[in-house]
Structure 1
Amino acid sequence: MCGLAGFWQLHGGARDALLEQVQSMSARLRHRGPDDSGAWCDESAGIVLAHRRLSILDLSPAGHQPMLSACGRYVLVFNGEIYNHPDLRQRLLAEGAAIAWRGHSDTETLLACFLAWGVERTLQACVGMFAFALWDRQQRALTLARDRLGEKPLYYAWQGDTLLFGSELKALKAHAAFRAGVDRDALALLLRHDCIPAPYSICRGVFKLRPGHLLRITADAPRSAQAAAYWRYNDAVEAGLADPLRCSDAEAADALEQQLGTSIGAQMLADVPLGAFLSGGIDSSTVVALMQARSQRPIKTFTMGFGETGYDEATHAKAVARHLGTEHTELYVRPEDALAVIPRLPSIYCEPFSDSSQIPTFLISQLTRREVTVALSGDGGDELFGGYNRYLGARTAWERMQRLPSFVRHASAGMLRALSPTAWDRWFERARPLLPKRWHLATPGDKAQKLADVLPLSSGHAFFLHLASQWKNPDGVVIGAHEPATLLTDPATWPDTGNLAQWMMAMDAQSYLPDDILAKVDRAAMANSLETRVPMLDHRVVELAWRLPLHQKIRDGEGKWLLRQVLYRHVPRELTERPKMGFGIPLDSWLRGPLRDWAEALLDENRLRREGYFHPAPIRRKWKEHLGGRRNWQHPLWSVLMFQAWLDENRRTSP
């Protein structure tokens, strides 16, 4: 886990000037790698590479980057971890390669593999999370690549005759050639998704390399380069569905536990202290249980609580930690601690990002970094094993809706809207003793309003896009925007799943997971110089998960069924059985309380009109309804607020 930056100035340049420029880019990434830094330059080619190192494996100078291959052909800057790199070394040895290893870093392993096998075959052989820039001095070609699932970020942009690239947008902005204004189309995407999906970014002409892709730029035709996939999630989906596991539940649980255990064991390799996030939910508890089963010492686990009903998981995590015998640390955060993070968010995320769980994610990363340098997380379990509420009974719910005549669905939507969310909440609370357990919902009022919104929709795909959208018509909010196509809106990119629930899972894994969840965790953790690892996103776990029949993921209205069976082998059922909770904060009440003045200043109608990015009317309407308690518009409002705060930060830090 580190940071990389660089540029290719096609007309060459003076060595000192090139190095000075790349070092200013690298300085913006110090948080990603405070332990060491380095730069390399070929002034005749105009290529410059820089690296910030967070030392995890091979703490000696033998792991220093930029690193040259033994023969001097390749120069590499690499961010991430290759978990199977010892096995790759053994494969090279078995094939007769005679290599005098200088150290035991995975960076050196990659360079040896590139020489022996080429870039694409090496990528196919790697198990890991990574982004890298590789300069081929012999062919005068630059290759940028990103891991299969998108754990590590990589931005790139042409600015004149200079190609800029780096781990974060702030590194590109540090280059003197950078000139890129706000992309209004990408801003529309932010309002819909809480994030800006790859390949887009908030700046015109600046792109994020998509997961599982590489981009090879050659000196003879640099502008014609197109990113290409070396691994496709849809291929894993369709191959798994075509060759499902045909075995008993117990045998399936054995296969899943074995593969997860292999992934977790490899990701526990580190030369620095290591621990895990533990919320007490199914995913993180499973990861911690399998870690502890492989450790001779208590695993360090970390939990954060808010102490507010509906947001506090710390007591559940503590019970799981006690049962497993981990060395557990918990931090109860006061509202003022969380509020203090908000001014830092535009700098941490470097482009607007509005998943409000970014705040607790930063705080838990801050807590964890006090004790360890590496933390494993349970991210990915929901997308792979059917954990989100929107998957549970999704096909059945949609089919039932479609059986109703259109006029009935429209009338039902009107009835649901007749009561405010607060009134629905009160009604459900009074009726709770009389309702079956499946009706014991969190925030039933908002769910009633969401149901009212989806009843009139005409297709399952539209149903899902609606659920995945904060602003339903962002082009009507962002002045001059034309929302571009994404994976969710382009049928040509959809896998053939034959089932709405599985299609939703596949779409989330290629959009919400890399663009929101993984970006959120990467920036929050790296702001604290903490490496995070996600064992459920080992591509072999992903491929196994898609071979599991849907009834082993979702059964009797319960998601992650098979994953639960693995967990129950280590942790009693009663310690983890509870309604699913998001990793959130009480943002709705904060916007009406301690954040009200801050938000009012950013949403001021005159300011919005003067800046010219948003039509003020729909924003002001939602703001007034939120303040009055008629609707909970925390998420759509937060996306506007995060852009406004980013805009302030961008003005402040621009030359």
Structure 2
Amino acid sequence: MCGLTGFLSSGASDDFQASIRAIRGMMDAITHRGPDSDGHWSDETVGLVLGHRRLSILDLTPAGHQPMHSACGRYVIAFNGEIYNHLDIRKKLEAESWKKTPVWRGHSDTETLLAAFAAWGIEATLQAAVGMFATALWDRKEQTLTLARDRFGEKPLYYGFTGKGLSDSTFLFGSELKALAAHPQWQGELETGALENYLRFGCVRGKQSIFRGIFKLPPGSLLTLSRDHIKAYRLPEPVQWWSAEQAAHAAIQQGRITDPSYAVGQVEQALGQSIGQRMIADVPLGAFLSGGIDSSAVVALMQAQASRPVRTFSVGFDDRRYDESAHAAAIAEHLGTEHVTLKATSRMALDLVPRLPEIYDEPFADSSQLPTTLVAQLTREHVTVALSGDGGDELFGGYNRHLWVPRLWDKLKRMPLPARRALAVSLKSIPSHAYDRMMQLGGKALPSRLRLRTFGEKLHKLAAVLESPSQQALFAGVSSMNRAPATLLAGNHPEAKADALYPVLAGFDSVEWMLLMDTLHYMVDDVLVKVDRASMASSLEVRVPFLDPEVFHAAWRLPPEIKLREGQGKWVLRQVLYRHVPRELIERPKMGFAIPLDDWLRGPLREWTEDLLSSQSLKELPMLDAKQVHKLWQAHLKRQGHYAQQLWTVLQLLAWQRKWRPRLA
């Protein structure tokens, strides 16, 4: 795992030393992504400079150094990622090259990619590659720069112009925004159009970044630029080389797996193969083990293939309400792993809060970023690579909304809209904290999976979506952190319609549509951003076995009634896991990677919060409605509702502004 960056100017460089200083500054900004070595390559005649920071995982020798040249001399690459099937690709190249067998300088996957690019072309090579990656490839013959990103968006890649226009344009790209910001021509103007969606979802979604004119390359896409594009100050549109929607359709068209036992076997086989590929490394390797279904399944299948105990890691917190470490330890003991519970205190998490704008580059308000960053930080003290269970929820139906939304809509659509509106008013007439009190008093009589810690918040969320005109809008409501983000923005800011937040896709039933939306949006823009930034901040490579094309294919051959079965999500994964771990060690309420955010904002984080919410601080972002923000804060202090998540989005935006100081239009 590494970090890449670089720039392409509109003409030949007239100050070579200035270019070298610029690329060194850009590389230094992402040292954490590759602390083992660095390198750069330039062609002054075209104004191109490539920079690379290396975290050595495969081929620790200088033969893996980057930027790397192809053996034919045509290509130069800066590559961030891992190609898990690169040895298979080498064998295919060798079998095809009967006239001249390739002479390999080392055994890095980067060298394999270059040879494949030369033999097969760029898109065919990407189609053959299984892995997580972002890459910048310079074609010396065609004088073109191609940026490419992996299928699911595991590795980030930002790009865009800086400069004053046609006569003074520079194209910047890099693994993180901080690399682009280190270029001397960086301007960094706030993209105000991204704020409503950020306040709604807690992350900057889609192609946009938080800076105007700077974009994220979409997953499964490539972007090819010539010097003419740079001179014209014009960006071509990215081209998709892989589509989750098309891959899902292809899996369905191959034929549904309707036999439950066969479905379990197919998923176990595909996931086991994916895990085996991701266990190859020349450095110490382990796995996160939270004790949940996804991470436990990954660890169980790792241990089944390992010749010695797998090293597993969980994080235990001093707040017992949010501590799953005992469950993880019990599963580790049963599987026989070499387990370490990393003791984290609330103080450690609180001390991390001021660093979040630096780690995440953009405003990012999924509060599980704190425990994720901590477990990555502590795991890095023991290993360099860790496998995780991310992606299981999106592929196999693990979120509560996957079960609840179809059931709710089936009932809601039978009610006239005026009746639903009246019911919403009735539900919201009782404060959320009063509902919580009722749950505390009567919850003991309910099954454990129905004892909801934030019962009132969920009922108020339900009330807010009762007016949904469609199931699509209902899903948008329950998947939002803040259902009415426009109320936090100053001026007359019309609320985006919930129906317009997610596209309509043909050929999928309602559950499949939700799974695909979560894969394309929540997973890409929230989950994978969180995991990448949290892990790379500590120079830890995290591999995600669920995000494999064969696992994806196997998952999408399963009809919804097999994924969601017996009133539970992830039924197939549960059955896979039960083959390795007793059911009683697994069946308990889904906790998630949560923190006591409500209490922290009122307690140890109150001074930090009120400093960010001061009048002077809010003036720095005049597009926020200061009156509404203060109203939300006062309601939270008085325990008049659950507003911690909404406040966290505002606080992370303000903290980010203080760190990055973006220009305002």
TM-score grouping bracket, smaller chain normalisation: over 0.9
- Cα distance in 1, alignment partners of residues 562 and 141 from structure 2: 51
- Cα distance in 2, alignment partners of residues 180 and 489 from structure 1: 29
The one of 588, 599, 602 equivalent to 1:589 is 599
Q: Check whether the contact 1:352–1:643 (CA below 8 A) recurs between aligned residues.
A: yes
2:455 paired with 1:447: no
2:179 paired with 1:171: yes
The Cα of 1:649 is off from its aligned counterpart by 1.0
2:8 paired with 1:8: yes
The Cα of 1:247 is off from its aligned counterpart by 4.3
The one of 315, 324, 345 equivalent to 1:334 is 345
Q: How does 1:558-573 map to 2 (within 5 A)?
A: 558-573=568-583
The Cα of 1:470 is off from its aligned counterpart by 2.3
The Cα of 1:498 is off from its aligned counterpart by 3.8
2:527 paired with 1:526: no
Question: Using a 3 Å threshold, how does the CA distance of structure 1 residues 224 and 279 change in structure 2: closer, same or farther?
Answer: closer
- Cα distance in 2, alignment partners of residues 624 and 490 from structure 1: 30
Partner of 1:142: 145
Give 3-state SS (helix, strand or coil) of 1:283's partner: helix
2:201 paired with 1:193: yes
Aligned length in residues = 653
- Cα distance in 2, alignment partners of residues 484 and 144 from structure 1: 35
2:159 paired with 1:156: yes
Give 3-state SS (helix, strand or coil) of 2:7's partner: strand
The one of 406, 415, 434 equivalent to 1:423 is 434
The Cα of 1:241 is off from its aligned counterpart by 2.9
Deviations along 1:538-573, one digit per CA (max 9) or x if unpaired, are: 122112111111111101210000011001000011
Partner of 1:412: 423
Partner of 1:212: 220
- Cα distance in 2, alignment partners of residues 446 and 263 from structure 1: 38
- Cα distance in 1, alignment partners of residues 570 and 178 from structure 2: 38
2:329 paired with 1:321: no
Deviations along 1:376-401, one digit per CA (max 9) or x if unpaired, are: 00000000000001111421221111
- Cα distance in 2, alignment partners of residues 31 and 432 from structure 1: 46
- Cα distance in 2, alignment partners of residues 605 and 504 from structure 1: 40
Q: Check whether the contact 1:393–1:557 (CA below 8 A) recurs between aligned residues.
A: no
Q: So what's the TM-score if we normalise by structure 2?
A: 0.95
Q: How does 1:490-639 map to 2 (within 5 A)?
A: 493-609=503-619, 611-639=621-649
Question: Using a 3 Å threshold, how does the CA distance of structure 1 residues 497 and 486 change in structure 2: closer, same or farther?
Answer: farther
- Cα distance in 1, alignment partners of residues 555 and 620 from structure 2: 50
Deviations along 1:199-228, one digit per CA (max 9) or x if unpaired, are: 111111111111011000012344252111
Q: How does 1:289-300 map to 2 (within 5 A)?
A: 289-300=300-311
- Cα distance in 2, alignment partners of residues 481 and 12 from structure 1: 47
Deviations along 1:460-503, one digit per CA (max 9) or x if unpaired, are: 11111112222333334234797999998366x54324422221
Partner of 1:69: 70
Q: Indicate the larger mover: 611-620 or 40-49.
A: 611-620
Give 3-state SS (helix, strand or coil) of 1:139's partner: coil
Question: Using a 3 Å threshold, how does the CA distance of structure 1 residues 485 and 50 change in structure 2: closer, same or farther?
Answer: farther
The Cα of 1:249 is off from its aligned counterpart by 1.3
The one of 255, 259, 281 equivalent to 2:292 is 281
The one of 243, 257, 267 equivalent to 2:268 is 257
Q: Indicate the larger mover: 326-335 or 569-578.
A: 326-335
Letter of the 2:177 counterpart: L
Partner of 1:119: 122
Task: In structure 2, list runs of 5 or more residues that go unmatched.
Answer: 164-168
The Cα of 1:306 is off from its aligned counterpart by 1.6
- Cα distance in 2, alignment partners of residues 63 and 482 from structure 1: 52
The Cα of 1:308 is off from its aligned counterpart by 2.3
Deviations along 1:327-377, one digit per CA (max 9) or x if unpaired, are: 111123221111000011111111111111111011000110000000000
Q: Check whether the contact 2:161–2:171 (CA below 8 A) recurs between aligned residues.
A: yes
Partner of 1:44: 45
How well do the aligned residues superpose, as a CA RMSD in angstroms?
2.0
The one of 454, 472, 477 equivalent to 2:488 is 477
Q: Check whether the contact 1:609–1:615 (CA below 8 A) recurs between aligned residues.
A: no
Question: Using a 3 Å threshold, how does the CA distance of structure 1 residues 487 and 445 change in structure 2: closer, same or farther?
Answer: closer
Task: In structure 1, list runs of 5 or more residues that go unmatched.
Answer: none
Partner of 1:130: 133
Question: Using a 3 Å threshold, how does the CA distance of structure 1 residues 370 and 234 change in structure 2: closer, same or farther?
Answer: same
Letter of the 2:183 counterpart: H
- Cα distance in 2, alignment partners of residues 163 and 205 from structure 1: 11
Question: Using a 3 Å threshold, how does the CA distance of structure 1 residues 507 and 268 change in structure 2: closer, same or farther?
Answer: same
Question: Using a 3 Å threshold, how does the CA distance of structure 1 residues 480 and 146 change in structure 2: closer, same or farther?
Answer: farther
Question: Using a 3 Å threshold, how does the CA distance of structure 1 residues 479 and 164 change in structure 2: closer, same or farther?
Answer: farther
Deviations along 1:293-349, one digit per CA (max 9) or x if unpaired, are: 010111110101223243111010000000000111112322111100001111111
Deviations along 1:509-543, one digit per CA (max 9) or x if unpaired, are: 00110111100110010000000000000122112
Q: Check whether the contact 1:41–1:48 (CA below 8 A) recurs between aligned residues.
A: yes
- Cα distance in 1, alignment partners of residues 200 and 498 from structure 2: 13
Partner of 1:57: 58
Question: Using a 3 Å threshold, how does the CA distance of structure 1 residues 411 and 435 change in structure 2: closer, same or farther?
Answer: farther
Q: Check whether the contact 1:278–1:288 (CA below 8 A) recurs between aligned residues.
A: yes
2:229 paired with 1:228: no
- Cα distance in 2, alignment partners of residues 547 and 540 from structure 1: 11
Letter of the 1:304 counterpart: V
- Cα distance in 2, alignment partners of residues 29 and 530 from structure 1: 13
Letter of the 1:63 counterpart: G
Partner of 1:180: 188
- Cα distance in 2, alignment partners of residues 144 and 75 from structure 1: 12
Partner of 1:90: 91
Letter of the 2:220 counterpart: G
Partner of 1:106: 109
Question: Using a 3 Å threshold, how does the CA distance of structure 1 residues 584 and 433 change in structure 2: closer, same or farther?
Answer: closer
Q: Check whether the contact 1:380–1:537 (CA below 8 A) recurs between aligned residues.
A: yes
Give 3-state SS (helix, strand or coil) of 2:376's partner: helix
Q: Check whether the contact 1:552–1:561 (CA below 8 A) recurs between aligned residues.
A: yes
Letter of the 1:22 counterpart: I
- Cα distance in 2, alignment partners of residues 375 and 436 from structure 1: 35
Letter of the 2:137 counterpart: L
Give 3-state SS (helix, strand or coil) of 2:322's partner: coil
- Cα distance in 2, alignment partners of residues 306 and 644 from structure 1: 27
- Cα distance in 2, alignment partners of residues 41 and 281 from structure 1: 47
Question: Using a 3 Å threshold, how does the CA distance of structure 1 residues 131 and 184 change in structure 2: closer, same or farther?
Answer: same
Q: Check whether the contact 1:186–1:202 (CA below 8 A) recurs between aligned residues.
A: yes
- Cα distance in 1, alignment partners of residues 34 and 449 from structure 2: 47
Q: Check whether the contact 1:192–1:469 (CA below 8 A) recurs between aligned residues.
A: yes
Q: Indicate the larger mover: 504-513 or 329-338.
A: 329-338
Give 3-state SS (helix, strand or coil) of 2:401's partner: coil
Question: Using a 3 Å threshold, how does the CA distance of structure 1 residues 67 and 494 change in structure 2: closer, same or farther?
Answer: farther
Question: Using a 3 Å threshold, how does the CA distance of structure 1 residues 224 and 2 change in structure 2: closer, same or farther?
Answer: closer
- Cα distance in 1, alignment partners of residues 145 and 495 from structure 2: 28
Letter of the 1:477 counterpart: L
- Cα distance in 2, alignment partners of residues 652 and 536 from structure 1: 37
- Cα distance in 2, alignment partners of residues 162 and 48 from structure 1: 11
Letter of the 2:94 counterpart: L
- Cα distance in 1, alignment partners of residues 482 and 599 from structure 2: 20
Q: Check whether the contact 2:448–2:588 (CA below 8 A) recurs between aligned residues.
A: no
Give 3-state SS (helix, strand or coil) of 1:48's partner: strand
The Cα of 1:580 is off from its aligned counterpart by 0.7
- Cα distance in 1, alignment partners of residues 624 and 482 from structure 2: 13
- Cα distance in 2, alignment partners of residues 49 and 487 from structure 1: 42
